Structure 1
Amino acid sequence: MSRTAIATSWLPRFGPLIAIVTAALSGVLIALALTVSAPVSGITQASTAIRVGLPIARAAIDLAAVAAVGFALLPLLAGERTPASARPVFARARTVVIASALVWAVAALASLVLQTAELYRPDGTAVSFTDLRSYVDTVAGGKALLIVAGFALVQALLAGAATRLGRKVPPELIVGCGLFALLPLPVTGHATMSHFAEHTMVLLELHIVSVVAWTGGLAAIVVLAARHRALLATVLPRFSQLATVCLAVAVATGVLNGLAQFIENPLVRLWPDLFTTPYGQLLVAKTVALAVIAGLGGYTRWKLLPNVIRHRRTALVSFAVVELALMGLAFGFAAVLGRTPLT
């Protein structure tokens, strides 16, 4: 096979994944540029490797979660009555879940090392096992990262078992394990400092679960189901209903959480600090990205979906790649936003 032929068959399948990863890295770099600050006299600044590595590791956690949960959703979206020709699609989906869950666990452990270094070894010297143990014992974020890594490993094991046993391993169990792995980290960020911590943490967890399910489901459909018209005609209408709910929840919870941070902070005002502080600028950028994605999703549902159901050729993949790239950018912003003080 010629190089041109290989590229032709390879890009349509992995182009969406390349788009979201590249956009996420770009979002991290843009956000870091917006939030860079001058060193404070008398305070040891974390090394560049830690300051850059932490948001990249967090973005890796988010993207791995998207793939692990989204590709695990594909058998549920398809239902039990699927053509036999679709079985190889589900086998590939389980392989992606295994790989993504393992990356998820590794990224969580890498974040644990980097966060420990930020606290105990900001100059970039090696982190010891004693440092890691102390961090996990004293900092909630350390415990949360270990829990995330544990759930991710269990999800990888379940997906591996499903490759041999098929639906004897309930797909709901694989998806559920991935969703549980999303829950620990949100309760260790800005939300814990709120006067209404319980409410804001619930909103933040709903926000993350909805965004991950929406983005991951779309990625799985575009990468694996887009070429299988019968399967696509089955899963896309169901995903469209799920995506509509996820979009509404993501936008509502994202806006409420962002505004709550401004309302409860006596040092800032919603206007004009929403547009003049790094935190506010990142929040606005993320909200704009979600708004554009919502528009693309609406076009897909009302214009492209009827033709997909009729097994007609559409521009679904092109629109989905743009949507995933914008979501990757939003993930990059979010990775830095969670570490940006509102001042």
Structure 2
Amino acid sequence: MTVTDAPREQRVGGSLSAGVFAVSAVVATVVAGTLTAQEAVPGIPMPGAIVTVGLPVVRVLLDVSAVAVVGLSLLAKLLGFDAPDRTEPVMRRVRPLTVTAAWAWAVCALLTIVLQTAELNPGSVPTLGMIASYVDTVGTGQGLLFSAACALAAAGIGLMAVRFGEKVPAELRIIVALFGLLPIPVTGHAVNSVWHDPIMIMMEVHVMGAAAWTGGLVATVVFVASRRELLAVVLPRFSRLATVCLLMVAMSGLVSGLGTMALTPGVELPGAILTSQYGLLVLTKVTLTVLLVPLAAHIRFRLMPGIRRGEATTVAGWATAELAVMGLAYGVAVAITRAAVG
């Protein structure tokens, strides 16, 4: 049996869910960044509003784009390959969007480099020489450039998938997308300690787990939630993946967040959790992660049995609520990378 396109109203509903995630992320970034902004010091030039507001917004849009690429790449595996007459109509819509998201990821990464160069040189318009010097001497710039290169590679592979379909292995698309996430933790706080490498690994695990969980949910609710027959196949697979990702995100987030604070000179735990901007932001993100648990559990244990039977459910609404909280968590995460630890 061939699956026809979902009604326009259902497609709009799925797009709305993705929009809720993106808007929540941007709003949380702006609010958290405003609350934790450093006060101007007389005599020391400060970056202009374009940099102070634009940089965190572009940075979170980088995350949103990367999440989209990861999730859309995962969707092929979640759908499976044993019923192309049902899955191919969906993937024909997904593949071009993956390319678009990858281009957005690359552009945001490069624009972040420019804005961070401007942040380090307040009052000056970044020149190519200044940008090249920043990339050459600062690990953050190198990480962002590598991430942009991976995004461009994902776009190129995605274009091949648009033309040749699933002859281009889904595993390759997923690996390239996840590989592009690895440098992103470098753009945050660095710890000068023998524990630097373990904490960086935890951050990378955290970033990849969050991207797979969030991206997979976005792809599922946008492209599959309105198709009951496909949803009955995809959601159980995604639910198992999401459980693993939740454990990865929770454990790695606690280790990296508290570890960064514990290894920063002058920071004393547990008091700093409630007295420092960094600690309060970490606490906020932990709270948001905890809020995700009952939302995800409701979908898995209350709605999934009916979905398996092909019944109509409110899964789209619950998934949208989950994505809203995820968006807030992503916005807070960007603020964490810019907040003072001590």
What TM bracket, shorter-length normalisation? over 0.9
TM-aligned CA deviation for residue 208 of structure 1 = 0.3
1:326 maps to which residue? 325
TM-aligned CA deviation for residue 13 of structure 1 = 2.2
Kindly, what percent of the aligned residue pairs are identical?
39
The one-letter code sitting in structure 2 at the alignment partner of 1:126 is V
The one-letter code sitting in structure 1 at the alignment partner of 2:150 is F
2:4 maps to which residue? none
TM-aligned CA deviation for residue 188 of structure 1 = 4.2
The one-letter code sitting in structure 1 at the alignment partner of 2:241 is L
1:160 maps to which residue? 159
Equivalent-residue separation in structure 1 for 2:270 and 2:81 (angstroms): 52
SS at 1:270's partner residue? Answer: coil
1:112 maps to which residue? 113
Equivalent-residue separation in structure 2 for 1:338 and 1:203 (angstroms): 15
Q: TM-score, normalised by structure 2?
A: 0.94
TM-aligned CA deviation for residue 276 of structure 1 = 2.4
Determine whether 1:98 maps to 2:106: no
The one-letter code sitting in structure 1 at the alignment partner of 2:307 is V
Q: TM-score, normalised by structure 1?
A: 0.94
TM-aligned CA deviation for residue 195 of structure 1 = 4.0
SS at 2:271's partner residue? Answer: helix
Equivalent-residue separation in structure 2 for 1:90 and 1:308 (angstroms): 21
- Aligned 8 A contact 1:191 1:200 in 2: no
SS at 1:294's partner residue? Answer: helix
- Aligned 8 A contact 1:194 1:261 in 2: no
Matches within 5 A, 1:214-233: 214-233=213-232
Determine whether 1:245 maps to 2:244: yes
> Higher mean Cα deviation, 32-41 or 290-299?
32-41
1:82 maps to which residue? 83
Equivalent-residue separation in structure 2 for 1:166 and 1:10 (angstroms): 22
The one-letter code sitting in structure 1 at the alignment partner of 2:111 is A
1:149 maps to which residue? 148
Structure 1 gaps of 5+ residues are 1-5
SS at 1:338's partner residue? Answer: helix
1:137 maps to which residue? 136
TM-aligned CA deviation for residue 271 of structure 1 = 3.1
Equivalent-residue separation in structure 2 for 1:137 and 1:261 (angstroms): 25
Equivalent-residue separation in structure 1 for 2:157 and 2:116 (angstroms): 29
2:275 maps to which residue? 276
- Aligned 8 A contact 1:23 1:325 in 2: yes
Equivalent-residue separation in structure 2 for 1:189 and 1:282 (angstroms): 14
Equivalent-residue separation in structure 2 for 1:34 and 1:90 (angstroms): 42
- Aligned 8 A contact 1:195 1:264 in 2: no
2:205 maps to which residue? 206
> Higher mean Cα deviation, 211-220 or 77-86?
77-86
Structural RMSD (CA): 1.5
Matches within 5 A, 1:253-332: 253-332=252-331
Distance 1:191-1:305 versus aligned 2 partners, 3 A rule? farther
Equivalent-residue separation in structure 2 for 1:113 and 1:27 (angstroms): 23
Equivalent-residue separation in structure 1 for 2:188 and 2:38 (angstroms): 20
